[in-house]
Copies of this chain bind each other. A is one copy, B any other.
């Protein structure tokens, strides 16, 4: 495949806080880099805010007043309420929207995009296919739209990135040239990037860490301190590496040292929704659905969702002893296990990891 277009024209799908932060960065970068069309198309799901269309507000005030207020989006980023219209002429398609809408969007775009376009997904989590196997969203996009799809996964919040705080991300692309194009498109002096050709590793490792953050929340509910969280991080990191070894053997160890790996894992475990909601779930004794309704406005908790998907893979392959932490976190979510059992599983994980890895070291 070759990318010798005269210009790269970018379209961004998604207008939440992350979509807006990316629109801010990309909108600025395209004006400074040769070979890019200076106009960026931005598919914004239409909403009415105080009797006005959100796309109209954005195109006039250059601010996403609902999802990322107080941040100016460059004027060359044009909000468009129709995804097919937005995708017209674009050859770089960036997907940064809630996971539950992605399949529907792909159906709408199918056969109606530039067939040589590059896809780029910032969507975290997995789809489960009919046989219960997990599938990365980048693969869903690639298959539905028949385009090569890279991923961008890192730590930090949309607000921090938009504010220009020091932050970092990992671009995963099996094609080096695609990786380089996306790098010049999204990197800034404050938003550093590393390109990895281990795209699957980048995406999977970034999803799995959400499970661990739930475990950190359970430890909080048991009133454990930072040292225990740090031990959980280490043991779960080894489970993540082992999991990828077993189920995605082509991925690389070095990916775990990237932003999508260790930075993402640490910052998620020390402060994110997954941790906070998981703690609340244990302390409240409400059902998960009720907690999600009360605290997440009905959204599904990402870590709990991924935990369930991984649990089924572990059980199906009878790998409970190898992944005791992943295994127990789902059981705690279903209340079949007590949160205290996480500590027992950490002990077992310690032994499992000793058995599987460290006898080999001598």
Query: Which A residues form the contact surface with B (CB < 8 A)?
Result: 155-157, 160, 165-168, 176, 189, 192, 194-198, 224-231, 233-234, 237-238, 252, 254, 257-259, 262-264, 266-267, 270-271, 343, 346-347, 350, 354, 357-358, 361-362
A228 to B231, CA, bound (A): 20
Q: Is the CB of B358 within 8 A of A226?
A: no
Q: Is the CB of B350 within 8 A of A231?
A: no
Q: Which 6 A-B pairs have the closest CB atoms?
A: A230-B267, A230-B266, A234-B263, A156-B227, A230-B263, A227-B267
A252 to B166, CA, bound (A): 31
Of B156, B226, B257, which one neighbours A267 at CB under 8 angstroms? B226
A226 to B227, CA, bound (A): 16
Contacts of A343 in B (CB 8 A): 166
18 pairs, CB–CB < 8 Å, chain A vs chain B: A155-B231, A160-B227, A165-B224, A166-B343, A167-B227, A168-B350, A195-B358, A197-B361, A197-B362, A229-B266, A230-B262, A230-B267, A231-B259, A233-B263, A233-B266, A234-B258, A234-B263, A262-B262
Assess A166 versus B267: contact at CB under 8 Å? Given A358-B194, A361-B254.
no
Q: Is the CB of B168 within 8 A of A252?
A: no
Assess A357 versus B254: contact at CB under 8 Å? Given A192-B347, A224-B166.
yes
Q: Is the CB of A263 within 8 A of B156?
A: no
Beta-carbon nearest neighbor of A156 in chain B = B227
Shortest distance in angstroms between A171's beta carbon and chain B's nearest beta carbon?
11
A234 to B254, CA, bound (A): 12
Q: Is the CB of B271 within 8 A of A226?
A: yes
Q: A234-B266, A262-B262 are in contact. List 5 more A-B contacts (CB 8 A).
A: A166-B346, A225-B271, A230-B270, A231-B263, A254-B361
